[in-house]
């Protein structure tokens, strides 16, 4: 009897031990996924602060690139010099970025007010003064550094690579490049330039960032590598995947539910697009059997899922037509 009891109690002990473990693992897993979700939200928030996100990536990249190409810097000066060179370089580039932002604003205002296309003389002078002031600030900083014995003399290679990286990451250029490509009217882009171009630039920065980090890891380990891996590779891959790749897939899927119209169908439709009232050589047919320019349809889809002509919901109409 007592042996049976002992066996029973040891069995239940093992059972409770197993349960205890499984509960612990479950709790830990739950906490882990929750923390990951929180991290993901915070990272996405950080990425949305485009200027700060770009600045941090630029600083990391510029410092790493300086460490890679400037081998002969004295070891004790290296820390200061790399950071100061990176920050001063960004300062000069940001003056250029500011200049481009102003030009972009003037162009946009010109387009919005088609009557008064040229900005007033006074505002032109004002922003010219501002740019000269910004430039002067950067030069003064360089002179002050020189006083302290730190010479800001970036090599041509350093300047070219950092400038390209700056162009690929800065917010204003991520907005300008797609609109420039849009002017070329590349058909294979399917009016998704605003997603494709930043994605390509993102992949470029990830590739250069990865090769820099790998080189630093193999040739000379620096404490800075871990931080750079996070910002230059991990965050940028997340940005490319969630904010561009997933959106491209979603937009393409919605759009592909509209089939391309044949030439005969376009002729039967009397060649006119109801959105822009222009002739059509290419068209897409909605589930409610209305024809529009692919571009016009895409523009409409960005704001609503209702047919611009009959105001029926595309999803309802496709359900009825099946």
Positions 258 through 317 that interact with Zn ion (CB under 5 A)? 273, 275-276, 288, 290, 293, 296, 307, 309-310
Nearer to Zn ion, 45 or 305 (CB): 305
For residue 90, state whether it binds Zn ion (rule: CB under 5 A).
no
| Minimum CB distance to Zn ion smaller for 57 or for 288 | 288
Min CB(154)–Zn ion separation in Å: 49
Which of 48/282 has CB closer to Zn ion? 282
Report, in Å, the least distance between residue 292 CB and Zn ion. 6
Burial call 166-204: b when 16+ CB within 10 Å, e when fewer: bbbbbebbbbbbbeebeeeeeeebbbbbbbbbbbebbbe
**Given the complex with Zn ion, which of 102 and 290 has the nearer CB atom?**
290
SS3 category, 35: helix
| Interatomic CA distance for residues 68 and 268, integer angstroms | 65
- Which lies closer to Zn ion via its Cβ, residue 194 or residue 284? 284
Q: How many residues does the chain have?
A: 322
Tokens linked to 319? 């359900």
**HSE-up of residue 234 (Cα within 13 Å, Cβ side):** 11
**Nearer to Zn ion among residue 106 and residue 309 (C-beta):** 309
CB of 318 to Zn ion, least distance (A): 11
Tokens of 120: 């007033």
Are 284 and 292 a contacting pair, CB within 8 Å? yes
* CB of 123 or CB of 278, closer to Zn ion: 278
**Contact pattern from residue 223 through residue 262 relative to Zn ion, giving x for each residue in contact according to CB under 5 A and a dash for the rest:** ----------------------------------------
Q: Number of residues interacting with Zn ion: please give it, by CB under 5 A.
A: 10
Instruction: Please name which of 315, 260, 268 lies closest in space to residue 292, comparing C-alpha atoms.
Output: 260
3-state secondary structure 187-245: HHHCCCHHHHHHHHHHHHHHHHHHHHHHHHHHHCCCCHHHHHHHHHHHHHHHHHHHHHH
Find the shortest distance in angstroms from Cβ 288 to Zn ion.
Answer: 3
Shortest gap between Cβ of 280 and Zn ion (angstroms)? Answer: 7
Answer whether 196's CB lies under 8 Å from 28's CB.
no
Judge contact between 260 and 307, C-beta under 8 A: no
Specify whether the CB–CB gap between 286 and 258 falls below 8 A. Answer: yes
Task: Supply the minimum distance, in Å, between the C-beta of residue 255 and Zn ion.
Answer: 15
Three state DSSP letters for 199-213: HHHHHHHHHHHHHHH
Query: Minimum CB separation from Zn ion for residue 310, in Å?
Result: 4
Cβ proximity to Zn ion: between 236 and 293 the closer is: 293
Shortest approach of Zn ion to residue 282 CB, angstroms? 10
Q: Which residues bind Zn ion (CB under 5 A)?
A: 273, 275-276, 288, 290, 293, 296, 307, 309-310
């Amino acid at each position: 009897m007592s042996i049976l009891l002992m066996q029973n109690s040891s069995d239940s002990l093992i059972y409770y031990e197993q349960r205890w473990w499984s509960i612990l693992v479950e709790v830990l897993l739950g906490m882990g996924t929750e923390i990951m979700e929180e991290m993901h939200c915070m990272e996405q928030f950080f990425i949305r602060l485009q200027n700060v996100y770009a600045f941090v990536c630029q600083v990391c990249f510029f410092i790493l690139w300086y460490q890679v190409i400037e081998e002969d810097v004295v070891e004790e000066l290296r820390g200061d010099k790399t950071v100061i060179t990176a920050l001063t370089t960004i300062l000069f580039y940001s003056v250029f970025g500011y200049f481009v932002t102003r030009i972009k604003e003037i162009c946009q205002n010109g387009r919005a007010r088609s009557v008064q296309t040229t900005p007033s003389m006074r505002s032109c002078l004002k922003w010219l003064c501002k740019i000269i002031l910004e430039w002067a600030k950067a030069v003064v900083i360089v002179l002050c550094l020189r006083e302290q014995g730190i010479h800001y003399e970036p090599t041509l290679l350093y300047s070219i690579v950092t400038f390209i990286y700056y162009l690929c990451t800065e917010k204003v250029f991520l907005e300008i490049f797609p609109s420039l490509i849009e002017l070329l009217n590349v058909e294979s882009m399917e009016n998704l330039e605003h997603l494709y171009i930043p994605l390509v630039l993102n992949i470029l920065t990830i590739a250069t960032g990865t090769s820099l980090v790998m080189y630093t890891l193999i040739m000379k380990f620096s404490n800075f590598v871990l931080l750079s891996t996070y910002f230059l590779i991990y965050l940028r891959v997340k940005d490319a995947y969630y904010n561009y790749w997933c959106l491209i897939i979603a937009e393409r899927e919605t759009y592909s539910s509209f089939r391309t119209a044949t030439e005969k169908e376009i002729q039967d439709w009397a060649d006119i697009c109801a959105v822009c009232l222009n002739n059509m050589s290419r068209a897409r047919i909605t589930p409610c059997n209305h024809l529009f320019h692919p571009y016009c349809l895409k523009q409409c889809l960005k704001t609503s899922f209702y047919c611009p002509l009959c105001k029926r919901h595309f999803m309802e109409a496709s359900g009825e037509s099946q």
